Amino acid sequence: MNKYNKKTFIFLINIVLLFINSACTNTTSTKKTESVNEAQYHGKENAVSVFSEEKKYRVTLYSNSSPIKTGKIHNWTLKVLTPDGDELDKVKIYLHGGMPQHRHGFPTRPRIAKMSGKGLYLVSGVKFSMPGAWEMRFNIKEKTKRDRVVFKINL
């Protein structure tokens, strides 16, 4: 086998492996850092922590129930801090979300309330009515700035 043939052979093998892999597994295209699923998400130890879209806030989402069951109302804990880790003053946080692919929002109207603890908020009344790709979009507003963070939940 000459050098050219070897390269072609390795290339072909890689393509075949890629093809077989994609046929055998179910992967989601969401970024690992923003994706929460039933298997990995069990509370603080598995919290998902990201920067908001314009990097104005550091946001961490904790699940308060495990596994996350469809059709059941449950709560989350949210932590919102500045990128330097400072607590925000007079911030308003709004939650929107749902299943964008199915064009509907949450079946419930979740609420957000400040908890004791640095930058902590209770997100209550969340319900995922069916398996699939859900989004929790948090809009964070201060007097002079605002930003948004989206968590993707795959059930």
Which positions ≥6 away from 139 have C-beta within 8 Å?
93, 94, 95, 96, 146, 148
22 or 49, CB closer to another protein?
22
* Binding letters toward another protein, positions 64-83, x by CB under 8 A: ------xx-x----------
Q: What are phi and psi of 65, to 5 degrees?
A: -140, 145
Burial of 123 (0-12, 13-18, 19+ CB in 10 A): buried
* Binding letters toward another protein, positions 110-139, x by CB under 8 A: xx------------xx-x-xxxx-------
- Give residues in contact with another protein (CB under 8 A): 1, 5-6, 8-9, 12-13, 16-17, 20, 23-26, 70-71, 73, 101-111, 124-125, 127, 129-132
